[in-house]
Structure 1
Amino acid sequence: MASTFSRDSKSEEERPLYEDFTNGWKPKVSYHFNEEAAQFHFGMKHPMKPFRLMLTDHLVLSYGMHNKMDWYKPRAATEDEIEQFHADEYVKFLQSVTPSTLDQFPDAPSKFNIGDDCPIFDGLYEYASICAGASVDASRKLINDQSDIAINWSGGLHHAKKFEASGFCYVNDIVLGILNLLRVYSRVLYIDIDVHHGDGVQEAFYLTDRVMTLSFHKYNGEYFPGTGSLDEIGAENGKHYSLNVPLRDGIDDESYTRLFKSILEQVLVKFRPEAIVLQCGADSLGGDRLGRFNLNIQAHAECVRFTKSFNIPLMVLGGGGYTPRNVSRLWAYETAVCLGIEPDTELPANLPFYQHFAPDYSLFPQLSGLVENHNSRGYLESVHSQVLEQLRYLNGAPSVQMQAIPPDLFGQTTEHDQQIAEARIDPDARDLTLDAKDNARQGELVEG
């Protein structure tokens, strides 16, 4: 029987392009994005394309999700905020260098790791500070109870170190955001589902028990950044508070989500975080230019959905992702997951750059099966058991005395700063480190 109900034209135009499945508790979601971050360019042949942020923004707006959350245009991070983690000398270099003045800094490649991965481009410091400012702003909204979930897709730049750039990352917005959260929350859990190991964040908090880092990533000892083995467990107060889940090429949806859920449940029981930071690098999707996994968008987003389900203050960040049309699909859908809505599978016809999503024009393209799966059941069970064995060493969640700046963070003390500085000026040690990084990137930088 034909329906006797019909909408008038205005109602049809205003109909949201999603179904709302929320009931009961509805989290306060905030979206932190400064559109200027999408206007920078790393270079024609560089895989990092800030353009992906604009595509994500267009998708979120075209689906009408902005009507369901608070929308903020954050300011750039200040020099003082960036220097909460990064060394003054390094920050001054980022502020002053330009493509035309790079020759005035002949030691920059070795001293600050500037090169093909981390080039100098116009507006570099502005770009880095804008991305960092959005994460700082997101952390503030969580601290002030203005948000339950705060989203910054321009953030998640997890490779940047205190003294240097690394892996397309110049300022570690994640560390800055976590440092802010630690002013209020006793314990923060950092979760990383980028295909690359979250080495910069792990290094920053390697000596503290106030931050637990949990990274799921490809690892074979050579794949960039070459870190992230099961043996990297933290040190001193932070021993057993760094957890790594090394995976092989081609892991599929079911294996990944099952492993993620089973490990995260146990981490939450043992560590009892008061806030969570989730880095959602999109290069773990199948078909990514630099990634080697087989994940579909729904499986990646299931990790967000599961993390959200525990109703713990949550900061959701971007990260890697080098096939822009799929990056934007993923992050738009994960925004919907945070909101508790289900968008139409078919992309909105009024979407700017609609042709960019040809030929399927779908929110969920088929991305699995592109790489052979080398993760046997036995291997995954072994990784699972070894991670849980680490958790057995924890005798409940650590209690801490609240302090404005946690004193036990890697590189935050004079002694550790001196150790890092000595290692950096040792030419033999420095050459070995750079050689290892270069080898790990073999074959990754591609044209297009």
Structure 2
Amino acid sequence: MKNECKWRTPTLLLLLATLSAHAQVLARISVKAGTSPRLNTAVYTALKNAYQSGPDSLQLQEVRGNKRSPVPFQLLDDNLYWILAGITPAGSTRVYELVKGQSVAAGNVMQLKDTAGAFLLRQGSRKLLQYNYAIMEPPAGVDTVYRRSGFIHPLWAPDGQVITNIHPKGHWHHVGIWNPWTHTSFKGKETDFWNLQKKEGTVRFKGVAGRVQGPVACGFTVLQDHIAFSGGKEVTALNEEWVIKALNCGTDTSRFVWDFASTLNCADTAGITLLQYRYGGGFGLRTMEAWTAATSAVLTSEGKTRKDADSTRARWIKITGRTEKGQAGILIMNHPGNFDSPQPLRVWPENSERGEIMMNFSPTKMKEWILQYGRYYAQRYRVVTFIKDLTNEEIENYYQDYVKPPEVTVAWNGSI
């Protein structure tokens, strides 16, 4: 089944008009927090046939007793997205009404900027991440085989510190956040799309399939190809779609939250086998050079650290380290629907590569994965970048937000 995170042409709305108690109620929406407290959690519901009445004539109001407050919302495909602003205690229910009424367009909190070579995502004036769709050259004097597009760098912490690294010495093929497959069998030949110096394959940006910005979310959908080099020719082995979506964290300036979804399908009827190997695919990360064994820490959902996290399974991994501005970190959660979940980890040992960090959720670390022509294969991850630290309780709340979002029920009042 194709990626559920896929979204296309949005309508962007922010409600600023005075709300009328006599406005026609189209739907009453209840949101149950469940067993976990919620903090600035994004929720959504299908909007039925709302486009028939025109999205510019819709308002969303939160109802608390006799008080109604306007709520910014965003239409992504046929879904209505908004944020449960602030803290929603466990066991509580919040009530909203969708009503007819005049609304006006407003500035976007979550922004996408096309820099003619990269997509830059921002929350307000703060940079969040950059996706590079133009070919980036390696450092001067380094083999041009390391030319690459289709990766994320920089990734910023909320205080503006860059926490990813590209083209580190000795590993020129490491580029921030990327996910090529390493050990594969394509048309009877072993093909490596990760280690570019082997000149067996690469990953290349192909095109843009969607972009969005608004009060709730910003992001983009892009297409990439895994290209095999064979006999002096290029053959596309895999088509890949990335959907990157950053979510509004409200007034909390210490965190960014964004989703990463990759969907693969075979470009050739021969299919491809992703062979068992210690790293490749999934979610790959090279952190800033300053994060070494002496200046950083690793913790997984199973209590593993830098010393023993490698080759263990985890629902999430947290990496923290010192920066020029203090301490920052990144939390990566892998979705339970991913292949061979909870997925195994590749984490460099403390005593290798100057103590620097390379981390990879590696779906095929324990077993091979056969991809068949005509089918779609999705991998999903949620990322939180933060300053200072996250407690285990906060992390588990983020994880529950991701895998068990609040329950949304809608009572429609007639047809719209």
- Relative to its length, the structure with more helix (as a share) is 1
Which range, TM-score by smaller chain?
under 0.3
TM-score by length of 2: 0.27
Which is richer in strand?
2
Q: Higher relative contact order at CA 8 Å, sep ≥6: structure 1 or structure 2?
A: 1
Q: TM-score, normalised by structure 1?
A: 0.25
